[in-house]
């Protein structure tokens, strides 16, 4: 089943675009998800870069089935307002950047949990439009930015999302931001033209430099 993703709630002005992942970029995920697992009697063992096969029951130390893993992730998204907190300095940085650019959240979460996420982001002073979709991020960002010749920025903690956007966008600043988590230590590193931002302060300076460089009149 494939539906055309509705982007009509995202209104862009004639200015740079910053598209930003949510989990582990704007909201902590890895750490609170582990706390959530403990509360459910499970534990994540960082043996490889995947959740499936690495979540064990604390009772018998046996890895739980893929369907049960999926259900736990969904239960976490359902209850995200009780568990997830903002990453350091995210609200003040995005608020400052939003004076000069449009900020859009693109989260790879089942769309049925978008209401909970919207409420949580609003409560944390992050009122920017939210797109929840499990489809590849590159084509979605391309649809959003269309053929505009304005600077664009994409921020994510996952290499495959950065690669998807790299493959669909020209001249987009690709920023890799990730927490210091056991799962992320095992994650594949992004390849090619991707810059690593150590925190939101660093991200802001990289974004502002990119916007300055790419807003200048172009010589032919």
Name the site residues for Mg ion (rule: CB under 5 A). Answer: 21, 23-24, 157
Judged by beta carbon, residue 51 or residue 150, the one nearer Mg ion is 51
Alpha helices for the chain (secondary structure H): 30-39, 66-78, 80-83, 90-97, 114-123, 137-145, 159-168, 182-185, 200-215
Q: How far is the CB of 181 from Mg ion (least distance, A)?
A: 11
Nearer Cβ to Mg ion (25/207): 25
Name the residue with the smallest CB distance to Mg ion: 23
Q: Hey, what's the torsion of the CAs at 135, 139, 144, 145, to 10 degrees?
A: 150
> Would you put residue 125 in left (φ > 0), alpha (ψ -120 to 50) or beta?
left
Q: Which residues pair with 103 in a beta bridge?
A: 18
Supply the minimum distance, in Å, between the C-beta of residue 42 and Mg ion: 21
Nearer to Mg ion, 20 or 207 (CB): 20
Whole-number Å distance between alpha carbons of 50 and 210: 33
Shortest separation between residue 127's beta carbon and Mg ion, angstroms:
20
Smallest separation (angstroms) from Mg ion to the CB of 33: 11
Q: Which of 37, 106 has the CB closer to Mg ion?
A: 106
Q: Which is nearer to Mg ion, 23 or 102 (CB)?
A: 23
∠ CA 214-218-220, nearest 5°, is 150
* Torsion sign (Cα): 36, 65, 185, 208: negative
CB of residue 220 to Mg ion, shortest distance in Å = 39
């Amino acid at each position: 089943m494939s539906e055309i993703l509705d982007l009509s709630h995202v209104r862009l002005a004639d200015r740079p675009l910053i598209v930003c992942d949510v989990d582990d970029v704007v909201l902590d995920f890895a750490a609170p998800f582990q706390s959530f697992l403990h509360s459910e009697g499970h534990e994540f063992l960082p043996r490889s870069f995947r959740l499936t096969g690495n979540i064990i029951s604390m009772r018998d130390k046996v890895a739980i089935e893929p369907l049960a893993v999926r259900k736990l992730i969904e239960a976490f998204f359902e209850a995200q307002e009780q568990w997830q907190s903002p990453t350091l300095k995210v609200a003040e940085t995005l608020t400052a950047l939003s004076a000069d650019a449009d900020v859009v959240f693109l989260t790879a979460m089942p769309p049925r949990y978008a209401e909970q996420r919207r409420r949580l982001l609003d409560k944390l002073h992050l009122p920017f439009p939210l797109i929840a979709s499990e489809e590849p991020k590159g084509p979605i960002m391309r649809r959003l930015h269309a053929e505009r010749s304005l600077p664009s920025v994409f921020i994510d903690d996952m290499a495959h999302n950065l690669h998807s956007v790299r493959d669909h966008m020209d001249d987009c600043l690709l920023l890799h931001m990730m927490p210091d988590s056991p799962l992320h230590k095992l994650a594949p590193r992004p390849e090619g033209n991707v810059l690593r931002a150590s925190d939101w302060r660093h991200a802001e300076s990289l974004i502002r430099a990119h916007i300055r460089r790419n807003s200048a009149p172009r010589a032919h």
